Chain A
Amino acid sequence: MYEGAVQDLIDELGRLPGVGPKSAQRIAFHLLAADETDVRRLAHVLVQVKEKVKFCEICGNVSEETQCRICRDPRRDLALICVVEEAKDVVAIERTREFRGRYHVLGGAISPIEGIGPDELRIRELMQRLASGEVTEIILATDPNLEGEATATYLSRLLRPMGLRVTRLASGLPVGGDLEYADEVTLGRAFEGRRSIDD
């Protein structure tokens, strides 16, 4: 045990995900030895992130304004909505530069065992966005695991009767992987979704 402020810092750091007691101690002593301006800057951004960051009123993405950068952008295609689980997924898809529509962040996936049902997600907000009639296609980009698939199944059951085009991200072999290590489900999906090579 250290005295006062040092121990407080170690305790606080230790509560972060992936930081154990030893790492917390190492970071604390690094900060103690660091330049005061660097530490002030870190403290400043920590406070700022809580003060400034809000959730976009349209898509639920993290944002500093009431609407996020993507929802404000007039060049974005209003007819397309890509539904994702977390704000992290928006960033991942943006990095591909393939998608020019807008997003909808659900805030998780349906998992009854953990007590998360459709009502705990931002599904009602998605329905409200569709009411204007501008949207023609919904791309379901939830994680390709069980909860993500179940969420996609639930949403398609809800959306298909509305006459929208509902699509799901393809699943298959990872680029740079080995065929022999692919599991049966993934390899099976890759076969199902194979395409003609001259497309």
Chain B
Amino acid sequence: MPLYRDEAIVLRTQKLGEADRIATLLTRSHGKIRAVAKGVRRTSSRFGARLEPFSHVDLQLATGRTLDVVTQAVSIAAYGEGIVSDYARYTTGTVLLETVDRLVVEEKEPATQQHLLLAGALRVLSTGEREPRLILDSFLLRSLAISGYAPSFGDCARCGEPGPHRAFNPAAGGMVCASCRPPASTMPAPATITLLAALLTGDWPTAERTDPRTRREADTLVAAFVAWHLDRLRSLRHLDLTPAPVVPLPGTESLG
């Protein structure tokens, strides 16, 4: 069994047999792979928590007939700790992982840009330095752009007439001019379009100057755009961006 080594982010895991797991990994140079991690569910496992979703690991793998086998694992960063400690970050993170899993369809086709984008997004998400909502929208737009579904927020997505335009249509691919505009296009606020363009290019100073209402509208548009290209993301239904209670209030009665 020939061995190879690569950096990988764990996208998801599923149980296999008594104590094994199949991990879906997004590697830096080998694209998406599915690999068996033997014995990880035992408490004495030498991989232990390294192969949990959100982990960024340096792996040695052995090529198998159908699935590769993880032979060694060393952590590069355990983003899971920081992400799982906050429920909003966790539900956001699972959307990121599912999106990549869906966008990178072919196994063993290099997807380095997606890998780098995901690693960056998980790092920022785990530190909590930016709002999960903004990280999510920015990631979705950029990840779709890498896969060839870049939305247009300036020129008309249909005829290319220079913008700015008023109408947005996910099926048309972004903003559309008055003459191309399909029925049932939405008319978002100009500030929302500025925010979306900033999120697509990674212009954080502009993005962070926006108010909550603009961010919510951007959310809706991004969700519509993602739904058009990826159908239904299961984890998106469970997205919960309610911030964690900052100070616990002892003795107060409330049932969430």
Contacts A18-B17, A113-B98, A161-B249 given; does A153 touch B78 at CB 8 Å:
no
Q: Give the residue of A118, A146, A162 whose beta carbon is less than 8 angstroms from that of B253.
A: A162
Q: Could you count the A-B residue pairs with CB atoms below 8 Å apart for me: how many are there? A: 99
Contacts A112-B91, A160-B245, A163-B251 given; does A153 touch B84 at CB 8 Å:
yes
Asked if A146 contacts B46 (CB within 8 A), the reply is no
Q: Tell whether B53 is near chain A: CB-to-CB under 8 Å.
A: yes
Interface residue count for A (Cβ, 8 Å)? 34
- In the complex, A110→B238 CA distance in Å? 9
- In the complex, A146→B251 CA distance in Å? 30
Asked if A185 contacts B48 (CB within 8 A), the reply is yes
Interface residue count for B (Cβ, 8 Å)? 44
Report chain B residues within 8 Å CB of A182.
Answer: 48
Q: Give the residue of A163, A174, A185 whose beta carbon is less than 8 angstroms from that of B81.
A: A185
Beta-carbon contacts under 8 Å, B21-79 to A: 43-44, 46-50, 52-54, 75, 78
The B interface, classified by DSSP as helix, strand, loop or mixed, is: loop
Asked if B98 contacts A146 (CB within 8 A), the reply is no
Contacts A146-B54, A157-B244, A161-B248 given; does A185 touch B255 at CB 8 Å:
no
Asked if A117 contacts B238 (CB within 8 A), the reply is yes
Asked if B78 contacts A184 (CB within 8 A), the reply is yes
- In the complex, A154→B250 CA distance in Å? 18
Q: Tell whether B254 is near chain A: CB-to-CB under 8 Å.
A: yes
Contacts A113-B12, A161-B248 given; does A153 touch B86 at CB 8 Å:
yes
Q: How many whole Å from B114's CB to the nearest CB in chain A?
A: 17
A-B complex: 4 closest residue pairs judged by Cβ atoms: A112-B235, A183-B48, A112-B238, A117-B238
17 A-B residue pairings within 8 Å (CB atoms): A112-B95, A112-B235, A112-B237, A113-B97, A113-B101, A145-B52, A153-B84, A153-B87, A157-B245, A157-B256, A161-B256, A181-B48, A183-B48, A183-B75, A185-B48, A185-B78, A185-B80
